[in-house]
Amino acid sequence: MNMPLTIRGLLMGKTALVFSLILQLTASADTIRYADSDPTDCLRCRMLVESYFPALAEATGSRVEVNGLFGAVLGSNKENLKLASEGVVQFSSTFVGYHNNIFPAQSAFDLFPTGPKKFENQLYFYRQAYSRIPEIQQELEQNNLKLVMISPLLHLAFASKSPIVSLDDVQGQKWRAGTKWLLRYLENIGASPVSIPWGDVYVSLETGVIEGVLTNYDAMNNAKFYEPAPHILISPELWMANPMIYLVNRDYWDSLPQDIQDSWLQASRDAELEWGRRLNEARDEIIQSQKAKGITVSTMSSQDLNQWKSPDTIENARADWVKEARKAGLSNAAGVLDELKKIHAEALARD
Protein backbone atom coordinates (compact mmCIF):
# COMPACT_ATOMS: atom_id res chain seq x y z
CA MET A 1 0.00 0.00 0.00
CA ASN A 2 1.39 3.40 -0.99
CA MET A 3 1.42 5.71 2.02
CA PRO A 4 0.93 9.48 1.38
CA LEU A 5 4.27 11.28 1.25
CA THR A 6 3.51 13.66 4.13
CA ILE A 7 2.54 10.79 6.45
CA ARG A 8 5.57 8.74 5.41
CA GLY A 9 7.77 11.76 6.06
CA LEU A 10 6.31 12.23 9.52
CA LEU A 11 6.78 8.60 10.42
CA MET A 12 10.37 8.68 9.21
CA GLY A 13 11.09 11.88 11.08
CA LYS A 14 11.64 13.94 7.93
CA THR A 15 10.41 17.16 9.50
CA ALA A 16 12.29 19.39 7.09
CA LEU A 17 10.61 17.74 4.11
CA VAL A 18 7.19 17.94 5.72
CA PHE A 19 7.69 21.60 6.60
CA SER A 20 8.68 22.35 3.02
CA LEU A 21 5.60 20.59 1.70
CA ILE A 22 3.35 22.46 4.12
CA LEU A 23 4.81 25.77 2.98
CA GLN A 24 4.24 24.82 -0.66
CA LEU A 25 0.65 23.85 0.01
CA THR A 26 0.06 27.04 2.00
CA ALA A 27 1.62 29.18 -0.70
CA SER A 28 -0.75 27.77 -3.29
CA ALA A 29 -3.80 28.37 -1.14
CA ASP A 30 -6.02 31.40 -1.63
CA THR A 31 -5.92 32.44 2.04
CA ILE A 32 -2.95 33.10 4.31
CA ARG A 33 -2.93 33.60 8.06
CA TYR A 34 -2.03 36.91 9.68
CA ALA A 35 -1.29 37.25 13.43
CA ASP A 36 -1.84 40.47 15.40
CA SER A 37 -1.91 40.94 19.17
CA ASP A 38 -4.28 43.93 19.13
CA PRO A 39 -8.10 43.61 19.08
CA THR A 40 -9.99 44.15 15.85
CA ASP A 41 -11.53 47.39 17.12
CA CYS A 42 -8.18 49.22 17.35
CA LEU A 43 -7.69 51.96 14.75
CA ARG A 44 -4.78 50.20 13.07
CA CYS A 45 -6.57 46.86 12.98
CA ARG A 46 -9.72 48.38 11.50
CA MET A 47 -7.64 49.90 8.73
CA LEU A 48 -6.11 46.50 7.99
CA VAL A 49 -9.44 44.69 7.85
CA GLU A 50 -11.49 47.38 6.12
CA SER A 51 -8.92 48.59 3.62
CA TYR A 52 -5.53 46.90 3.40
CA PHE A 53 -6.55 43.25 3.26
CA PRO A 54 -9.24 43.85 0.59
CA ALA A 55 -6.82 46.03 -1.43
CA LEU A 56 -4.16 43.34 -1.19
CA ALA A 57 -6.56 40.70 -2.50
CA GLU A 58 -7.60 42.95 -5.36
CA ALA A 59 -4.04 43.92 -6.29
CA THR A 60 -2.94 40.27 -6.43
CA GLY A 61 -6.02 38.96 -8.21
CA SER A 62 -7.06 37.08 -5.04
CA ARG A 63 -3.68 35.28 -5.04
CA VAL A 64 -3.11 36.71 -1.57
CA GLU A 65 -6.18 36.83 0.67
CA VAL A 66 -5.71 37.30 4.38
CA ASN A 67 -7.38 35.61 7.32
CA GLY A 68 -6.69 38.06 10.15
CA LEU A 69 -6.21 36.47 13.57
CA PHE A 70 -6.41 39.38 15.99
CA GLY A 71 -6.48 39.74 19.77
CA ALA A 72 -3.38 37.57 20.39
CA VAL A 73 -5.27 34.35 19.62
CA LEU A 74 -1.98 32.76 18.54
CA GLY A 75 0.46 34.72 20.67
CA SER A 76 1.44 38.05 22.15
CA ASN A 77 3.05 40.93 20.28
CA LYS A 78 6.44 39.56 21.28
CA GLU A 79 5.55 36.10 19.97
CA ASN A 80 4.18 37.20 16.59
CA LEU A 81 7.70 37.62 15.26
CA LYS A 82 8.46 33.96 15.89
CA LEU A 83 5.13 32.85 14.44
CA ALA A 84 6.03 34.40 11.09
CA SER A 85 9.69 33.45 11.26
CA GLU A 86 8.86 29.76 11.74
CA GLY A 87 5.98 29.73 9.25
CA VAL A 88 3.21 29.07 11.77
CA VAL A 89 1.58 32.05 10.04
CA GLN A 90 2.66 33.54 6.74
CA PHE A 91 2.24 37.14 7.86
CA SER A 92 2.32 39.06 11.15
CA SER A 93 2.91 42.44 12.73
CA THR A 94 5.10 43.29 15.66
CA PHE A 95 6.30 46.31 17.63
CA VAL A 96 10.01 46.86 17.06
CA GLY A 97 10.58 47.97 20.65
CA TYR A 98 9.80 44.49 21.99
CA HIS A 99 12.76 42.85 20.26
CA ASN A 100 15.94 44.57 21.38
CA ASN A 101 17.82 41.26 21.66
CA ILE A 102 16.69 39.98 18.27
CA PHE A 103 16.88 43.37 16.54
CA PRO A 104 19.84 45.15 18.20
CA ALA A 105 20.37 47.49 15.23
CA GLN A 106 16.69 48.48 15.15
CA SER A 107 16.74 49.07 18.90
CA ALA A 108 18.73 52.22 18.12
CA PHE A 109 15.49 53.91 16.97
CA ASP A 110 14.78 54.60 20.64
CA LEU A 111 17.92 56.74 20.84
CA PHE A 112 16.09 59.57 19.06
CA PRO A 113 13.62 60.81 21.70
CA THR A 114 12.12 63.48 19.46
CA GLY A 115 11.43 63.23 15.76
CA PRO A 116 9.55 64.55 12.74
CA LYS A 117 6.03 65.79 13.43
CA LYS A 118 4.68 64.80 10.02
CA PHE A 119 3.75 61.20 9.37
CA GLU A 120 5.32 61.11 5.90
CA ASN A 121 8.66 62.25 7.31
CA GLN A 122 8.57 59.63 10.05
CA LEU A 123 7.93 57.07 7.33
CA TYR A 124 10.88 58.50 5.40
CA PHE A 125 13.10 57.89 8.44
CA TYR A 126 12.09 54.23 8.72
CA ARG A 127 12.16 53.49 4.99
CA GLN A 128 15.65 54.96 4.69
CA ALA A 129 16.85 53.06 7.76
CA TYR A 130 15.59 49.72 6.44
CA SER A 131 17.03 50.30 2.96
CA ARG A 132 20.36 51.97 3.76
CA ILE A 133 21.61 50.09 6.82
CA PRO A 134 22.82 46.54 5.99
CA GLU A 135 22.78 45.45 9.64
CA ILE A 136 19.05 46.15 9.85
CA GLN A 137 18.42 44.20 6.66
CA GLN A 138 20.47 41.30 8.01
CA GLU A 139 18.40 41.14 11.20
CA LEU A 140 15.32 40.41 9.11
CA GLU A 141 17.08 37.97 6.79
CA GLN A 142 18.59 36.03 9.69
CA ASN A 143 15.10 35.55 11.09
CA ASN A 144 13.64 34.36 7.78
CA LEU A 145 11.51 37.50 7.40
CA LYS A 146 10.59 39.95 4.67
CA LEU A 147 9.47 43.49 5.57
CA VAL A 148 6.41 44.54 3.55
CA MET A 149 4.92 47.48 5.46
CA ILE A 150 5.63 49.98 8.24
CA SER A 151 3.14 51.79 10.48
CA PRO A 152 4.46 54.71 12.50
CA LEU A 153 2.30 55.25 15.56
CA LEU A 154 0.91 58.42 17.10
CA HIS A 155 3.31 60.41 19.24
CA LEU A 156 3.87 59.65 22.90
CA ALA A 157 1.52 60.90 25.61
CA PHE A 158 1.90 61.21 29.37
CA ALA A 159 -1.29 60.05 31.12
CA SER A 160 -1.28 61.01 34.80
CA LYS A 161 -3.56 60.47 37.78
CA SER A 162 -2.69 63.95 39.06
CA PRO A 163 -2.50 67.22 37.08
CA ILE A 164 0.42 67.44 34.67
CA VAL A 165 1.32 70.47 32.56
CA SER A 166 5.10 70.15 32.73
CA LEU A 167 7.75 67.45 33.06
CA ASP A 168 8.42 68.85 36.52
CA ASP A 169 5.10 67.30 37.57
CA VAL A 170 6.46 63.72 37.32
CA GLN A 171 9.25 64.32 39.84
CA GLY A 172 9.52 61.41 42.29
CA GLN A 173 6.45 59.61 40.88
CA LYS A 174 6.24 56.02 39.64
CA TRP A 175 5.75 55.98 35.87
CA ARG A 176 5.44 53.11 33.43
CA ALA A 177 6.87 52.95 29.89
CA GLY A 178 7.20 50.07 27.46
CA THR A 179 10.86 50.12 26.45
CA LYS A 180 14.18 50.21 28.25
CA TRP A 181 15.20 53.58 26.84
CA LEU A 182 11.88 55.29 27.52
CA LEU A 183 12.22 54.13 31.12
CA ARG A 184 15.67 55.69 31.16
CA TYR A 185 14.34 58.98 29.79
CA LEU A 186 11.71 59.00 32.52
CA GLU A 187 14.46 58.55 35.07
CA ASN A 188 16.39 61.42 33.45
CA ILE A 189 13.53 63.83 34.20
CA GLY A 190 13.20 62.72 37.82
CA ALA A 191 10.47 60.06 37.65
CA SER A 192 10.77 56.63 39.21
CA PRO A 193 10.53 54.27 36.20
CA VAL A 194 8.53 51.06 36.55
CA SER A 195 8.22 48.15 34.13
CA ILE A 196 4.70 46.68 34.17
CA PRO A 197 3.05 44.37 31.59
CA TRP A 198 0.67 46.17 29.24
CA GLY A 199 -2.30 44.19 30.45
CA ASP A 200 -1.72 45.33 34.04
CA VAL A 201 -1.37 49.06 33.35
CA TYR A 202 -5.03 50.05 33.72
CA VAL A 203 -5.42 48.35 37.11
CA SER A 204 -2.04 49.68 38.26
CA LEU A 205 -3.21 53.22 37.51
CA GLU A 206 -6.58 52.60 39.10
CA THR A 207 -5.08 51.24 42.32
CA GLY A 208 -2.26 53.78 42.53
CA VAL A 209 0.58 51.31 41.98
CA ILE A 210 1.80 53.81 39.40
CA GLU A 211 1.02 57.49 38.99
CA GLY A 212 1.22 57.57 35.23
CA VAL A 213 1.99 55.87 31.95
CA LEU A 214 3.98 57.02 28.93
CA THR A 215 2.88 55.40 25.67
CA ASN A 216 1.71 56.26 22.17
CA TYR A 217 -1.41 58.41 22.19
CA ASP A 218 -3.59 56.11 20.07
CA ALA A 219 -2.85 53.04 22.20
CA MET A 220 -3.38 55.03 25.41
CA ASN A 221 -6.77 56.19 24.17
CA ASN A 222 -7.79 52.74 22.92
CA ALA A 223 -6.92 51.21 26.31
CA LYS A 224 -8.84 54.01 28.07
CA PHE A 225 -5.98 54.84 30.41
CA TYR A 226 -7.45 58.33 30.58
CA GLU A 227 -10.19 56.96 32.88
CA PRO A 228 -7.91 56.36 35.90
CA ALA A 229 -5.36 58.93 34.63
CA PRO A 230 -7.38 61.89 33.31
CA HIS A 231 -4.52 64.37 32.86
CA ILE A 232 -2.70 64.18 29.50
CA LEU A 233 0.48 65.88 28.29
CA ILE A 234 1.34 65.62 24.58
CA SER A 235 3.55 66.95 21.78
CA PRO A 236 3.71 65.96 18.10
CA GLU A 237 7.51 66.06 18.31
CA LEU A 238 7.49 63.46 21.07
CA TRP A 239 7.26 60.69 18.50
CA MET A 240 6.95 57.00 19.20
CA ALA A 241 10.40 56.15 17.89
CA ASN A 242 9.61 52.47 17.31
CA PRO A 243 7.07 51.59 14.60
CA MET A 244 4.84 48.61 13.98
CA ILE A 245 6.31 46.53 11.19
CA TYR A 246 4.60 43.90 9.02
CA LEU A 247 6.61 40.80 8.23
CA VAL A 248 6.13 37.89 5.86
CA ASN A 249 7.72 34.47 6.25
CA ARG A 250 10.65 34.57 3.81
CA ASP A 251 10.13 31.03 2.47
CA TYR A 252 6.53 31.87 1.64
CA TRP A 253 7.52 35.21 0.12
CA ASP A 254 10.16 33.59 -2.11
CA SER A 255 7.54 31.10 -3.34
CA LEU A 256 5.44 33.91 -4.81
CA PRO A 257 5.85 35.05 -8.43
CA GLN A 258 7.56 38.39 -8.94
CA ASP A 259 4.38 40.11 -10.13
CA ILE A 260 2.57 39.07 -6.95
CA GLN A 261 5.44 40.36 -4.80
CA ASP A 262 5.43 43.67 -6.67
CA SER A 263 1.65 44.03 -6.31
CA TRP A 264 1.84 43.25 -2.60
CA LEU A 265 4.52 45.88 -2.00
CA GLN A 266 2.56 48.49 -3.94
CA ALA A 267 -0.60 47.74 -1.95
CA SER A 268 1.48 48.15 1.20
CA ARG A 269 2.84 51.54 0.08
CA ASP A 270 -0.70 52.71 -0.62
CA ALA A 271 -1.82 51.45 2.79
CA GLU A 272 1.01 53.29 4.54
CA LEU A 273 -0.21 56.58 3.07
CA GLU A 274 -3.81 55.83 4.02
CA TRP A 275 -2.70 54.95 7.54
CA GLY A 276 -1.00 58.35 7.77
CA ARG A 277 -4.20 60.14 6.79
CA ARG A 278 -6.21 58.12 9.30
CA LEU A 279 -3.68 58.78 12.04
CA ASN A 280 -3.76 62.54 11.50
CA GLU A 281 -7.57 62.51 11.65
CA ALA A 282 -7.55 60.25 14.69
CA ARG A 283 -5.30 62.60 16.67
CA ASP A 284 -7.74 65.49 16.34
CA GLU A 285 -10.68 63.22 17.12
CA ILE A 286 -8.97 61.82 20.23
CA ILE A 287 -8.20 65.29 21.58
CA GLN A 288 -11.76 66.50 20.99
CA SER A 289 -13.27 63.34 22.45
CA GLN A 290 -11.11 63.46 25.56
CA LYS A 291 -11.79 67.12 26.21
CA ALA A 292 -15.52 66.44 25.83
CA LYS A 293 -15.16 63.82 28.57
CA GLY A 294 -13.55 66.38 30.89
CA ILE A 295 -10.02 65.07 30.38
CA THR A 296 -7.28 67.69 30.67
CA VAL A 297 -5.09 67.71 27.54
CA SER A 298 -2.01 69.96 27.70
CA THR A 299 0.79 70.54 25.20
CA MET A 300 4.45 70.31 26.16
CA SER A 301 6.48 73.52 26.13
CA SER A 302 9.64 73.92 24.08
CA GLN A 303 11.52 73.98 27.38
CA ASP A 304 10.14 70.56 28.27
CA LEU A 305 11.03 69.19 24.84
CA ASN A 306 14.59 70.44 25.23
CA GLN A 307 14.78 68.81 28.64
CA TRP A 308 13.45 65.51 27.25
CA LYS A 309 16.09 65.43 24.48
CA SER A 310 18.92 66.92 26.55
CA PRO A 311 22.13 66.34 24.55
CA ASP A 312 24.11 65.21 27.59
CA THR A 313 21.65 62.55 28.69
CA ILE A 314 20.98 61.33 25.14
CA GLU A 315 24.66 61.04 24.25
CA ASN A 316 25.24 59.06 27.44
CA ALA A 317 22.42 56.73 26.46
CA ARG A 318 23.85 56.35 22.95
CA ALA A 319 27.31 55.53 24.32
CA ASP A 320 25.78 52.85 26.55
CA TRP A 321 23.78 51.49 23.61
CA VAL A 322 26.91 51.12 21.48
CA LYS A 323 28.62 49.10 24.24
CA GLU A 324 25.58 46.87 24.76
CA ALA A 325 24.99 46.38 21.04
CA ARG A 326 28.60 45.33 20.49
CA LYS A 327 28.28 42.77 23.28
CA ALA A 328 25.11 41.50 21.59
CA GLY A 329 27.11 40.88 18.41
CA LEU A 330 26.53 44.12 16.50
CA SER A 331 30.18 44.89 15.79
CA ASN A 332 29.39 48.00 13.73
CA ALA A 333 27.09 49.53 16.34
CA ALA A 334 28.77 52.95 16.12
CA GLY A 335 28.44 52.93 12.33
CA VAL A 336 24.75 52.03 12.54
CA LEU A 337 24.15 54.88 14.96
CA ASP A 338 26.05 57.37 12.79
CA GLU A 339 23.96 56.47 9.74
CA LEU A 340 20.75 56.76 11.75
CA LYS A 341 21.83 60.23 12.90
CA LYS A 342 22.18 61.26 9.24
CA ILE A 343 18.78 59.84 8.32
CA HIS A 344 17.17 61.46 11.36
CA ALA A 345 18.60 64.85 10.38
CA GLU A 346 17.28 64.38 6.84
CA ALA A 347 13.81 63.53 8.13
CA LEU A 348 13.74 66.56 10.41
CA ALA A 349 14.85 68.80 7.55
CA ARG A 350 11.84 67.62 5.53
CA ASP A 351 9.36 68.63 8.27
- Is pLDDT above 90 for 4? no
What's the domain count of the chain?
A: 1
- Is pLDDT above 70 for 20? no
Whether the CB-CB separation of 124 and 104 falls below 8 Å is answered with: no
Which range marks the domain in which residue 97 is found?
A: 5-154+241-283
Q: The whole model's pTM is what?
A: 0.88
- Is pLDDT above 70 for 79? yes
Which tens digit of pLDDT belongs to each residue from 153-211? 999 999 999 999 999 999 999 999 999 999 999 999 999 999 999 999 999 999 999 99
Is residue 53 situated within a structural domain? yes
Is residue 228 situated within a structural domain? no
Give percent of the chain above pLDDT 70.
Answer: 91
Is residue 15 situated within a structural domain? yes
Q: Mean pLDDT across the stretch 44-48?
A: 94
Is residue 348 situated within a structural domain? no
Query: Residue 82: which of 146, 145, 148, 150 has the closest Cα?
Result: 145
- Is pLDDT above 90 for 6? no
Is residue 50 situated within a structural domain? yes
Is residue 331 situated within a structural domain? no
Query: Residue 216: which of 151, 134, 172, 277 has the closest Cα?
Result: 151
CATH code: domain of residue 16: 3.40.190.170
Is residue 67 situated within a structural domain? yes
Which tens digit of pLDDT belongs to each residue from 52-74? 999 999 999 999 999 999 999 99
Is residue 137 situated within a structural domain? yes
